[in-house]
Structure 1
Amino acid sequence: MIPSVRIVEVGPRDGLQNEPQIVATDVKRALIHRLAGAGLKHIEATAFVSPKWVPQMADHAALMAMIGDIDGVNFPVLVPNFKGFEAAMASGAREVAVFASASEGFSQKNINCSIAESIDRFVPIFEAARAQNVRVRGYVSCVVACPYDGAIAPAKVADVAGLLFDAGCYEISLGDTIGVGTPASVRRMLEAVAGRVPVERLAGHYHDTYGMGVANAFASWEFGLTAFDSSVAGLGGCPYAEGASGNVATEDLVYLFEGLGVETGIDLPRLVDCAHWFSAKLGRGPHSRVAKALLARTKP
């Protein structure tokens, strides 16, 4: 049987949430539909957060209404608290994501509370999600290092991931938020986390600040992970981590796995077209190395 991986496209949410220019709702809808047309089956559409803190996500309900249903495509949304969960349910969402940090300093700077307090906030979400048959995915940020606390002990990451998994998350996405990880540091982290959460319930979420995103994904795949988050055109960043670049580009991951003979279900040429189209909407080129290389090959 041909091995496969599941790629979760986070560009419309994680990739866009820190863009300085507000992207029109109809353009976001077109982006999501183009991603689905390229074969992506899991597209994180938006975040039900306060427009005061994340203006880019102010159109969350309108966007969900515009997307509609696409057969076989899942549209998870991020919710920071129970109020966000209720709004997501009202919009028709059937999967939500919650986030915690492995760093106390990052947790305080990001959401103004401790790690323990952040997880306590999710208790009503887990209870309501179980009652409504809604899946909950968990994010853990700063799994390698933090801009405030420095290097993060792998055991700390394992503790936070274990708490989210035990609370009811079907999968834990491990985020190298500032992109300083290397295959060695990522593997040490995974070895610790796998002691608390089954490997098949883990996903890799790697930023590409030092160009290690693809290498870290490969190391994680060798470790046994088969789910990865990525962002079309390498969109993204982190407002709490100065200089941190976007998520590893979806095109680069697809190219990696195709070269390994691993099925992604994604049409790479169509995905690259989407990356160039949307990057042009933002007035720049894609950060993806694969998108740049394939464009250069098509030029006369």
Structure 2
Amino acid sequence: MSEFVKIVEVGPRDGLQNEKQTLTLEQRLNFITDLIDAGLKSIEVGSCVSAKWVPQMAQSDELFKQLPQRADLNLSLLTPNIKGFETALAVGCKEVAVFTAASESFVRKNINCSIDESLEKFSEIMQAAKQHNIRVRGYVSCIVDCPYEGAIEPQQVVKVVKQLYDMGCYEISLGETIGTATPDRVQKVWQACLAELDSKVLAGHFHNTYGMAIANIYQSLQQGIRVFDSSLAGLGGCPYAKGASGNIATEDLFYLLSHMGFETGIDLDKLMTASQNISQILGRKSLSNYTNSYLQSRCA
């Protein structure tokens, strides 16, 4: 029996949040429905933040209420503060996500506090989540390089990841945020983390700015990592901006995993349909190499 690799689809949140176009609630609902039809079971569907600051994520709670609540689905919401957590709780969400970084400069630029202060803010969420039997997933950005302070030491990553785990995160996703890493550097981060934590609580989140995401995921697989975040059609980051740091496309991740003999639970034809639908809505070509090659072969 083939070994299973879990794909966490982050297109509806991390992807759309970084697209210039704001979709309607119905369009977002159809997008997530397409993902579910394609066999994706773990999906970050939105973010409980102020629509004033992130209009792309407006009414994420209302969106969640309209989605199917099946036992085999793991639909989550990003909740950066206790107010967001309470919003997620009110609509019956069973998993939330919190985020910090391994870089002090990055955390200060993004959420205006230190790493320790960001973790302190999560303590209230963690306590409430435990009371209500809600799982918490943690994100750690800048695990290799930071755009403000350069290289990040692997032990600094371990320190933050360990704190999130000790606080109660059941899984921590390590984000290679600006896409500058190479497999040798990624290997060092995983080796440092795996010296302290089991691979079952770790996930990889790779950006494809310099085309290194698939190579870095391959290295991660060699280190025993079996959970990866991805975004359909490579959503996230502007494809027209120099240095755009888009997420690895779910289709490209699927290609790698399926051809290496891993099981994902994904239906290829339905995944292609979902990819074409969201690309058409956004009015741009998919950033997935596999999708574009697949479509060309079908038309030939």
Q: Is contact 2:177-2:245 (8 Å) kept?
A: no
Instruction: Give, in angstroms, the shift of residue 268 of structure 1.
Output: 1.7
Q: Deviations over 1:188-227 (max 9, x none)?
A: 1111111232112100000000111111111101100000
**Aligned 8 A contact 1:158 1:193 in 2:** yes
Trace 1:268-287 onto structure 2 (pairs within 5 A): 268-287=268-287
User: Equivalent residue of 1:143, what SS?
Assistant: coil
Structure 1 partner of 2:191 = 191
Whole-Å separation in 2 of the counterparts to 1:219 and 1:291: 23
Q: Is the contact made by 2:79 and 2:85 (CA closer than 8 Å) also made in structure 1?
A: yes
> Normalising by the residue count of structure 1, what TM-score does the alignment of the two structures yield?
0.97
Secondary structure, in 3 states, of the residue corresponding to 1:16? helix
Residue equivalent to 1:69: 69
Instruction: Report the 3-state secondary structure (helix = DSSP H, G, I; strand = E; otherwise coil) of the residue aligned with 1:51.
Output: coil
The amino acid that maps onto 1:166 is D
Tell whether the 8 Å contact from 2:29 to 2:63 is kept in structure 1 after alignment: yes
Whole-Å separation in 2 of the counterparts to 1:109 and 1:150: 14
Task: Work out the CA distance in 2 between the residues paired with 1:176 and 1:250.
Answer: 16
Q: CA deviation at 1:276?
A: 1.3
Structure 1 residue 58 displacement after superposition: 1.3
Number of aligned pairs? 298
After superposition, give the CA deviation of every residue in 1:11-45 in whole Å (9 maximum; x if it has no partner). Answer: 00000112111101101100101100000000100
Aligned partners of 2:242, 2:81: CA distance in 1, in Å?
26
Give the aligned partner of residue 221 of structure 2: 221
Whichever residue aligns with residue 231 of structure 1, its letter is S
The residue correspondences of 1:168-207 to structure 2 (distance < 5 A) are 168-207=168-207
Residue 6 of structure 1 is matched in structure 2 by 6
Letter in 2 for 1:123: S
* TM-score normalised to structure 2 length: 0.97
Aligned match of 2:55: 55
- Write the distance in 1 (CA, Å) between the matches of 2:242 and 2:190: 25
Q: Secondary structure at the match of 2:140?
A: strand
Q: State how far apart, in whole Å, the 2-side matches of 1:133 and 1:168 are.
A: 11
**How far apart are the structure 1 equivalents of 2:33 and 2:70?**
8
Q: How far 1:54 moved relative to its partner?
A: 1.0
Show the counterpart of 1:46.
46
Task: Tell me what 1:159 maps to.
Answer: 159
CA distance in 1, matches of 2:267, 2:129: 33
Q: In the alignment, what sits opposite 1:288?
A: 288
Aligned to 2:101: 101
53-62 or 118-127: bigger deviation: 53-62
What is the CA–CA distance in structure 1 between the aligned matches of 2:132 and 2:16, rounded to whole Å? 29
Q: Alpha-carbon deviations, 1:216-266, whole Å to 9, x = none?
A: 11110110000000000000139xx98332110100011101111110110
Deviation at 1:55, TM superposition (A): 1.2
CA distance in 2, matches of 1:164, 1:190: 16
The letter of the residue matching 1:126 is: M
* Structure 1 unaligned blocks of 5 or more: none
CA apart distance, 1:71 = 4.7
Preserved CA contact (<8 Å) 1:252 1:288 = yes
Match of 1:144 in 2: 144
The yes-or-no answer on 1:29 pairing with 2:45 is no
Aligned AA for 2:51?
P
Q: Secondary structure at the match of 1:205?
A: strand
**TM-aligned CA deviation for residue 87 of structure 1:** 0.7
Query: Alpha carbon RMSD of aligned pairs, Å?
Result: 1.3
3-state SS in 2 of match to 1:44:
strand
- Answering whether residue 278 of structure 2 is matched by residue 267 of structure 1, we say no
Q: Which moved more, 1:196-205 or 1:105-114?
A: 196-205
Give unpaired runs (5+ residues) of structure 2: none
Deviation larger for 227-236 or 66-75: 66-75
Letter in 2 for 1:221: L
**Following TM superposition, by how much is the alpha carbon of 1:52 offset from its aligned partner in structure 2, in angstroms?**
2.1
Q: 1:268 to 1:158 in 2, by over 3 A?
A: same
